[in-house]
C-alpha cells in the first residue's frame, strides 16, 4: 500500500518546559529538532506502521530544508517536490501538562503550484492524504486539487484533515466548504474546534472527529482514547491517528495516537 501525502514539510523546533515559563527570564527545557508539518508527520507514521509513504511538499533550498528532508527520508519516507527559497519552520512550546502552542513560519511551503506536480508521483498511489493547510490559499490549493485529480484517476482514495480552526476562520468557512466539495474526499479528519469553525461536518464523507483525551468518533462509533501512563506532548497525535486509520482502521489509529502523546515530538 502506497500512501501519498501533500502539504508542508517543516523543520520543527519542539520545546518542552520543565517549569512554568519565566517571562523575561530563563526557563530550563528539553529542546529537539526534527522534520514536521502535517503531511510529513502523517507520512512518517504511515512508514512506521508498515506501509509505503511518499510526501509531496515544496521545501526550502537552505539548511533547514536539507535537514527536514534528510530527517524524513531516514524514517523511510520518499520525499518529492520542488526546492526554492526558505524552508518552513515551526516552533512548538509544550507546557507542563502536555498542551502545546505553536508559532509558524510557513515560508516556501505555501507556494507549491499545480504545474510543479509531477504525475508520476501519484501513479502508484493507493491513498492520498491532503493536509488542510494546503487548502487555505493559492497557489498551494490549486496544487492540492490537481493532485487529487491525478490520484482519483488512478483509483486512489482521498482523505483531508481540516488542520487548523484559525486557518479556516481566516480563509472563511464558506470558501473552505466549497473547496472540500470540489475535492469530494472519502474521509474528513478534524477536531471539534475545526469542525465548529467549518460550520459542521461535510456530508458524503466518512467523518473522523478527534476529541483529544476523550478519544475519537469514527462516523457513529465513539471510541475512548487508550490509557497512557504520562502524557508528554500532544503534538502530532492527530497526525498519528490519521496515519493509523489509513493503514489499519480505528484500532491502529488509537494505538498510534497513544504512542505519540507518550513522547516528545510529532514523529514516531
Residue 98 pLDDT: 67
Q: Quote the CA–CA distance of 87 and 103 in Å, as a whole number.
A: 14
| CATH assignment, 2-7+36-86+107-261 | 3.40.1190.20
Q: Quote the CA–CA distance of 171 and 49 in Å, as a whole number.
A: 34
Residue 54 pLDDT: 98
Contact 179, 132 (CB under 8 A): no
Quickly tell me which residue has 484517476 as its cell: 153
Residue 234 pLDDT: 78
Q: Quote the CA–CA distance of 42 and 49 in Å, as a whole number.
A: 11
**What's the average pLDDT block by block, 10 residues per block, for the chain (268 residues)?**
96 86 86 91 98 97 95 97 94 77 86 97 97 95 97 97 95 97 97 96 95 92 89 85 97 95 84
Residue 22 pLDDT: 80
Domains in the chain: boundaries: 2-7+36-86+107-261
Provide, for the chain, the percentages of residues in helix, strand and coil under a 3-state DSSP scheme, each rounded to the nearest 5: 40, 25, 35
Amino acid at each position: 500500500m502506497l500512501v501519498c501525502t501533500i502539504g508542508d514539510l517543516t523543520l520543527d523546533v519542539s520545546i518542552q518546559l520543565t517549569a512554568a515559563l519565566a517571562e523575561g527570564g530563563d526557563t530550563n527545557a528539553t529542546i529537539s529538532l526534527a522534520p514536521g508539518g502535517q503531511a510529513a508527520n502523517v507520512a512518517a507514521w504511515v512508514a512506521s506502521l508498515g506501509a509505503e509513504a511518499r510526501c509531496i511538499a515544496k521545501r526550502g533550498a537552505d539548511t533547514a530544508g536539507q535537514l527536514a528532508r534528510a530527517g524524513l527520508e531516514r524514517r523511510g519516507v520518499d520525499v518529492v517536490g520542488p526546492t526554492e527559497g526558505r524552508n518552513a519552520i515551526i516552533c512548538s512550546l509544550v507546557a507542563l501538562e502536555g498542551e502545546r502552542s505553536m508559532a509558524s513560519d510557513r515560508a516556501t511551503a505555501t507556494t507549491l503550484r499545480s504545474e510543479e506536480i509531477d504525475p508520476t508521483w501519484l501513479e502508484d498511489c493507493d491513498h492520498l492524504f491532503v493536509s488542510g493547510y494546503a487548502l487555505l490559499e493559492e497557489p498551494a490549493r490549486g496544487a492540492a486539487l490537481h493532485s487529487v485529480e491525478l490520484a482519483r484517476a488512478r483509483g486512489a482514495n482521498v482523505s483531508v484533515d481540516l488542520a487548523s480552526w484559525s486557518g479556516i476562520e481566516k480563509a472563511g468557512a464558506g470558501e473552505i466548504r466549497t473547496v472540500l466539495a470540489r475535492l469530494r474526499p472519502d474521509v474528513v479528519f478534524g477536531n471539534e474546534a475545526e469542525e465548529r469553525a467549518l460550520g459542521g461536518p461535510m456530508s458524503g464523507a466518512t467523518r473522523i472527529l478527534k476529541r483529544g483525551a476523550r478519544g475519537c468518533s469514527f462516523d457513529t462509533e465513539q471510541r475512548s482514547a487508550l490509557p497512557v501512563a504520562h502524557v508528554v506532548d500532544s503534538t502530532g497525535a492527530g497526525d498519528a491517528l490519521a496515519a493509523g486509520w489509513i493503514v489499519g482502521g480505528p484500532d491502529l489509529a488509537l494505538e498510534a495516537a497513544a504512542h505519540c502523546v507518550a513522547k516528545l515530538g510529532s514523529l514516531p
